[in-house]
Amino acid sequence: MSLIAFFISRTRPKSSYTLWTTVACRLSSTEPPSGGPTLKDENPQHEDKRSTQGNYEEDIRNKILSASLPYVPQLGWSKDAITKGAEDVGYPGVVHGMFSRGGGDLVHYFQTSSNSQLVEILKEVSNLLLG
């Protein structure tokens, strides 16, 4: 049995909805991935300013989305969950307006952060098995 199949067999809930909400709750205690898109400009002064601003906004978005994951089992992948997460980290509930796709942004964050964490876990397991 492969290591991934073993992991899945040990952690598989009875339904796919339970799987996603269980994983969301487990991952909600982790830090969001750092970094964000960088904006290019021909003027280096503007490039530094825009890059810093883009990273700052992306960090805020990630912090809010990370704090929103524990609310997914009760509120679903919705703006309501994002509102609760924003309030938990000290932002007003209306900040959900930053997320034009609403729950879609929350799902996308969950998927990308889960994939990043899976890559790190597989690297560690690979190092343990091969190294």
What ranges do the domains of the chain cover? 34-130
* DSSP type of residue 110: H
Q: Measured between alpha carbons, how far is 131 from 120 in angstroms, rounded to an integer?
A: 15
pLDDT in tens, 10-52: 444 444 444 444 444 444 444 444 444 333 444 555 555 556 7
> 86 near 62, Cβ under 8 Å?
no
Rounded to 5°, the CA angle 58-61-64 comes to: 150
Whether the per-residue pLDDT at 58 is higher than 60: the answer is: yes
Residue 99 has pLDDT above 50, yes or no: yes
The pTM for the full model equals: 0.60
User: Residue 7: what residue type?
Assistant: F
